[in-house]
Amino acid sequence: MRISKDLKIGSILRRELSAPFGILVRSGQLRKYIRSNDKIYAIGDVTVSTLLKLGIIPKLAVFDYMSERSRGDFPFIRKAYRRPVKVVNNRSELSLSLWKAVKRLSRAKDGAAIRVYGEEDLASLACIHFAKSGDIVIYGMRGRGMALIKVNKSIKRYVARVLKRMKSVEKH
């Protein structure tokens, strides 16, 4: 699948995506589900920080230095990722720049990072799309823990259907 414009979700799709794709886990349970050779895509500052504190370096980390819509200080992220790729992505959107950054960095070695100006809430869709089967995508679920997804053909097909249902953002 290719996208050529910024995409936006509507209210129906927003409700659908508010449910976790994978299993819901707490930070103390991560080691139970992650092996040392797993390729991990981590979305969200708390998720990325948690993994780094556990000594797990994500293949790709996506963050915005915010937690629950408030600016935060994330020393583990700042130390691990001194030169992240910078993109702009609005709330409830998947920008073309974020899509392209995930595409490019999914081919890189472990330790790549994207710093989002705006919000990274839909980055998981791009990460799932570009991840290989067997890779793991983890993203934060505000107040509920983290959604952990082991990527497979079924979840990739679901994400492709979601992307097709999104609307193009018209620029003025």
Tens-digit pLDDT profile for residues 70-121: 555 666 787 788 899 999 999 899 999 999 999 999 998 778 999 999 999 8
AA letter at 137: V
- Look at residue 143 and tell me if it is in a domain: yes
Number of domains in the chain: 1
Tokens 């936006």 belong to 8
Residue 21, pLDDT above cutoff 70: yes
Q: What is the structure's pLDDT at 3?
A: 82
Q: What is the structure's pLDDT at 28?
A: 87
Q: How far apart are CA 46 and CA 63, in angstroms?
A: 9
- Look at residue 46 and tell me if it is in a domain: yes
**Eight-class DSSP state of 109:** P
Q: pLDDT tier at 69 (50, 70, 90 boundaries)?
A: low
Residue 172, pLDDT above cutoff 60: no
- Residue 108, domain extent: 8-128+135-167
- Does pTM surpass 0.75? yes
- Look at residue 2 and tell me if it is in a domain: no
Q: Which of 131, 138, 122 is nearest to 33 (CA)?
A: 138
Half-sphere exposure (CA, 13 Å, Cβ side) for 86?
Answer: 4
- Look at residue 172 and tell me if it is in a domain: no
